[in-house]
Amino acid sequence: MTEESILRIPAKLEGMDLILSFVSFMLDTNGCSAQARTQLRMAVEELYVNVTLYAYPSGGGWAEIRGSVEDGVATLRLIDGGTPFNPLERDDPDIMLPGEERGIGGLGIYMVKNMMDELEFAYSNGCNQLTLRKQL
């Protein structure tokens, strides 16, 4: 089993570069394919932006990312102490509708669901925990 790496930062958009550098370093040191790397970075970016914009309505707060690679599978867990929210329960948007008829929101989570091999949500100890798994 590989050791899990952990990064906790204030939940602010300015932290995006640090989060993506964390993900890239973990993937690059474990022989990740270019496609899996791009998909994992896009998924983490989408989810992190959602945390920074919506998890803490009154501001403040933190976000944590944990990551490991074992047997060619990357596992990333995004954790926040914000408003309880399971993005996996959200209905998928009807992507066949024109954008103006589809309504706002949901497309990013839909993208994440389709790029990852496995997604899992838990709310535990006052924290949202979303786990992503992707074959490298």
**pLDDT above 90 (res 39):** yes
Q: CA angle 110-36-84, nearest 5°?
A: 40
Look up the pTM and report it. 0.87
Range of the domain at 55: 5-135
- Among 27, 33, 38, 35, which residue's Cα sits nearest to residue 2? 27
CATH of the domain at 20: 3.30.565.10
Please tell me the total count of domains within the chain: 1
When pLDDT is averaged across residues 12-40 and rounded to a whole number, the result is 95
**pLDDT above 80 (res 104):** no
Q: What is the pLDDT of residues 110-124, one digit of tens each?
A: 889 999 999 999 999
Phi, psi (rounded to 5 degrees) for 31: 65, 45
3-state secondary structure at position 55: helix
Q: What is the pLDDT of residues 43-68, one digit of tens each?
A: 999 999 999 999 999 888 999 999 99
